[in-house]
Amino acid sequence: MSGKRAASLMAKQVAAGALACLMAFSALALASCSGGGSERVHLLVKVPRTGHDVVFDDEIVYADQVIRLMADEFCKTPEGGNVDIEVEVFEQNQYDSAVEDSFDTPKSPDVLYGDYFNISTYIHTGRVVSLGDVVSDEVRNDVFDYLWDMSTVEGKVYMMPYLLRQNVLAYNKDLFRQAGLEEYIQDGKIASWSLEDWTSILDTLAERLPSGAFPMMMYAASSQGDTHTMTLLRSAGSSFFDESGHFSLSTPEGVAALDWIQGGVSRGWFPPHAENLEIEDCSSLFREGQLAVYMVNNASVSRYGDTVGLVNFPGPDEQGCATVFVSGFEVFDNGDARKVQAAKDFLSFVYGNEELLSYAAGTLPASKSVSDAYSDQIPYFDLFQENSDNVVDFTGSNPDTRAVRDIFYQCIHELLMGNTTPEQAAERIDRECNEAIDAGVAASVLHE
């Protein structure tokens, strides 16, 4: 990094640090922009409290720090000279209260940053504007094509991808060694095991692990982390969704996967009463060395160092499968054309500024140029990039993911308790989740 760039970044870090301190007293901050004109535009940008790593800046620990930096830089431009940007942080479990419940109030967001599987729902409220005029040819060519596919509804781009995290499974090497499973430990790669191997491994762990340690994560107390359970339901060859994007588990492959999970309860694969656990409970067990297999992504795996190995979820083919969580931006129309234009100008500025795009370098950047520039600094970059062919879509064409998830986790809760058979669980998931999908489609309104 040049001395000039280092000085520039250091100055921004100081500003970001000062804003982070201010956040201790308030959940929001205002980037007040100087500039001409008598009538100013106020933008409210909302972002969930999200950890964030940057390979060249240890001062950045939360996503909102990056958003504030973007706002500060935009406000120095002619386009941003008349704009005040307020950044408000909300908790991860408060998307609806922070967004949809605030519509038609002064707290309605003009810009939202978040995970696609959460923010895509709002596209169907008719409030989220298409961003075709933000996506210049240069911007489109700089972002990986499959991310544009995930950002598009009915041919129009409604979300701007910024970064992504790829999710696979991690196994505790020490616990595997204790169980005599050294043959499965592989360094420097993301392994894949057949369902038969998985069954044998989990049975062996259940038999040989010390008291208080458990083979694999499982939880169903809420919808948190349910996408990992959905991914496990591909383990016997199920595609999970049909061609129309509806759930399709009432097949031999879908029922077999549900049976595999339910059988794991009696075989001792999971912590006791997993139906009452949250994903964070399993995360704590894994961090404490009491869980042999847990979910990680390319950003979180570094915290474990050489103590873990990586493996794909058991999947429909021999390579297994992984998932990606994309994070990015969308713009809302709150009835003020000047705000909509200012929000678009803000995003145009961000996606035209490689230095701001580079703050995604810590996870997997959406930008090809940033990926090229920082691939040798981003932990495990090549490993996860090579595994991208094994990524599966866990949302289908669902316009209301949260409504579906509220149903899905309850079905898994009952399955783990033994209150329903795999066949009954498959039928209920297909029926009730598909009803929610159809209701979402019927209620969907896209911005004109």
pLDDT in tens, 73-101: 999 999 899 999 999 999 988 998 999 99
Distance CA 271, CA 254 (A): 23
Distance CA 271, CA 167 (A): 21
pTM comes to: 0.85
Across 197-322, where does the E strand assignment appear?
A: 214-216, 291-297, 308-311
When the pLDDT of each residue in the chain is averaged and rounded to a whole number, the result is 91
**What is the DSSP pairing of strand 364-365 with strand 41-48?**
unpaired
Six-digit token string for 37: 């004109």
Distance CA 383, CA 435 (A): 39
Q: Is 24 exposed, middle or buried (0-12, 13-18, 19+ CB in 10 A)?
A: exposed
Confidence at residue 33, expressed as pLDDT on a 0 to 100 scale: 56
Which position has the token pair 């075709």? 132
Across 186-290, where does the E strand assignment appear?
A: 190-191, 214-216
CA nearest to 326, candidates 412, 393, 259, 400:
393
1 pLDDT higher than 70: no
Residue burial 228-255, b: 16+ Cβ < 10 Å; e: rest:
bbbbbbbbbbbebbeeebbbbbbbebbb
27-43: average pLDDT:
64
Distance CA 396, CA 391 (A): 13
Confidence at residue 396, expressed as pLDDT on a 0 to 100 scale: 67
22 pLDDT higher than 70: no
Q: Which residues make beta-bridge pairs with 293?
A: 171, 216
The answer for residues whose C-beta is within 8 angstroms of residue 422's C-beta and 6 or more apart is: 255, 256, 258, 259, 262, 415
Confidence at residue 423, expressed as pLDDT on a 0 to 100 scale: 98
With a pLDDT cut of 90, the percent of the chain lying above it is 83
Higher pLDDT residue, 9 or 153?
153
Confidence of residue 8 (pLDDT cuts 50, 70, 90): very low
372-388: average pLDDT:
94
Confidence at residue 27, expressed as pLDDT on a 0 to 100 scale: 43
Confidence at residue 31, expressed as pLDDT on a 0 to 100 scale: 58
pLDDT in tens, 138-158: 999 999 998 999 999 999 999
Calculated CA dihedral for residues 347, 349, 350, 353, nearest 10 degrees: 160
424 pLDDT higher than 60: yes
Confidence at residue 393, expressed as pLDDT on a 0 to 100 scale: 80
Measure CA 98 to chain center: 18
CA nearest to 211, candidates 275, 287, 277, 268:
268
The answer for residues whose C-beta is within 8 angstroms of residue 197's C-beta and 6 or more apart is: 184
| 257 touches 235 (CB < 8 A) | yes
